[in-house]
Each structure stands twice: as C-alpha cells, then as structure tokens.
A = this chain, B = another copy of it.
C-alpha cells in the first residue's frame, strides 16, 4: 500500500494527463480538487488491486461531461457523500474502496478527492488504461459487466440512481442527456462492482504508472549526458510519430463532445512533412503525409516539444510546437469485442485496426 499526499498528486496528474491521450481534461483543475480534499481530510491509501477481497464492494468515481466546464461550474464537495449514501443504501452494505474508471487529468484526480473525503482507500486500477469519451467504453463492458446500477449527482444537489439500463450504450445516452441538462458536468458512480470482477477485467496499476510517467516528464532533463527526447521516449515506451508546429485547429461541438482536428507542419526530421490529428475529446487518429500511423484504441498523445508536458485537446493552440507519440493500448482493447467498442470504425474512421507498432514499422519499410 502506498499513500497519496499532496506531493504525490503532481506526478500522478501529469502522467495521467499523458495517458489521457488528449482527453481527460486539464490536469490543473483536477489537481486543485484533489489537493483541496487531501488538505481537508488527509492523504489517501492506494491499494494494489490484488489485495482487494473478492466480495469487497467498490464504488468507481468519475466526472461525466466536459472537463472545461469545471473551470466555471465547480464541484461542491458533497457529491461523493451523496453518491456513497445512494450506493450503500441500495446494496445494503458499506463500500470498501473507490476507484477511477479512466485515466486522465480530471478523472484520475476526482477519485482521490472522493477517497479523501469519504475516508476510503483508492484502488490502483481503472477501466480503460487511458481516457475514452463514452461511458460504455470500459474493459468491464467486454467482461459483460453492466454500467448500472449507477448513481449521479450534480453540484446543486440533484441526484439520481439509474436502476437498470438495457445496454451500457443506453446508460451513456440517458446519462448524457442528464449531464447536458445539469449544465454539462456531473459526478457519477458507475460499474459498481465486487473485488472479483475488478480483478478479472480492470486495467491494473495505472495510478502507479501515471505517477512514474509524471516523474519521468518532471525529471527528463536531469541527465545532461542524454537527449531529453530519448529519455522521454525510452521511459514512456512511446513511439515517435511526428514533430511539428500546430498550423491549424478546427473545433466543433455537437453539444456532447469536443470534436475537431489539427494540422501540423513538420519540424526537424519532419521538415516539409505535414500531419493531421483528429479528435473526439481524445485523439482518434494520426496521419502523416497521407499515411495513417495510428488509430484508436492505441493512445495518440501530444506533448510539448521542449518540456514533454502533455497537451490535451482543450489546450490545442495555433503555433504550439508538439511531438506526437503513439502508445500501444491495453491488450483487451485489441480483441474483437474491444475493437467493436472503441475501434476506428466506431468513431467513423474508415480503416481496420492495425496496432500502432505495426503501422509504424510498415511505414518505415515503405520509405
């Protein structure tokens, strides 16, 4: 068991923001919420998933909606107690621990705040190993786990309990309608499960991984004899896809998601080349000189070309110099069931899924 105090928050937020693959929101706002909770209620115990008993009841915590909304419409702090009361009343038993459902700047932080405020431990596990835009997109769906019963509350005090939904996609659609009506952002507990299920289908130790990646980014220039970029790529196991300057950002919103794409002009080795990254909250595909180099569910991450700080899709700006890297996704996403949920075709990309490492190898041979 490890402890998460204020000093640990920084690295977790930074690394989770990288694993958010462009989504998951601004780590700054998430960090403030987690730090505030730890200041008020003390540090959080992080427990290894394999230490959790089979029959322990776990309450995952997440924010649903647009993380950018949180900069204006904050969290009041009572949300976690409201969710706890609803869930424990329904199950008629106390809750053993909280857990994140995705990795990202906000949704890795809120479960820490919840754990602190509820005096519960947090499990070092999530349901994506990255961020995804819709709530049925978790490894637990592949395992046949239902998103409901699910509890939902907003900062004003409206709260509800989704007793049953016929599919996890229906949970997404119904909860999304409520999220919009509540002002674009709510706090939820879904995929409420027992320890046995979590251990069977969860993506384990992703908080620890986030922390390691955060430390890597923070210390990337500490070895003066090595190129920071090499240190970063080696430490993150990232595959360099492109390096360039953001030449254009196109944003749309359909009321539910941040959609858009960016055009990059190559720098350094990539001079003269151009690249396009398409996103729906998270980055979905990366094309370099017309060649598809990576698609969802592999992680496509933009980092600042100098500091290697992750650049989320809500922070994309003309002129920013970035490196685009690919990271292989969790193995369950590469199964047939996984690709049905989060593969390129679900997001309207007209291509079969090919793992990023194979695409890049193929592209290198074609040159």
Contact = CB atoms under 8 A, between A and B. Distances in A.
Contacts of A212: none
Nearest to A164: B159
Contact of A180 (B160, B163, B164, B177): B177
Main secondary structure of the interface of A (DSSP, over half): mixed
Nearest to A86: B163
A174 interface: yes
Given A174-B178, A177-B181, A178-B177, A166 B157 contact: yes
Contact of A160 (B157, B173, B174, B181): B174
Interface in A306-358: none
B182 A174 contact: yes
A160 B163 contact: yes
Nearest to A85: B163
Contact of A163 (B156, B161, B164, B177): B161
Interface string A131-163: 000000000000000000000000011111111
Nearest to A157: B166
Contacts of A164: 157-159
A205 interface: no
Contact of A162 (B160, B165, B166): B160
Q: Which of A162, A163, A165, A182 has the most CB of B within 10 A?
A: A163
A182 to B, nearest CB: 7
A165 B158 contact: yes
Interface in A168-194: 170, 173-174, 177-178, 180-182
A165 B160 CA distance: 8
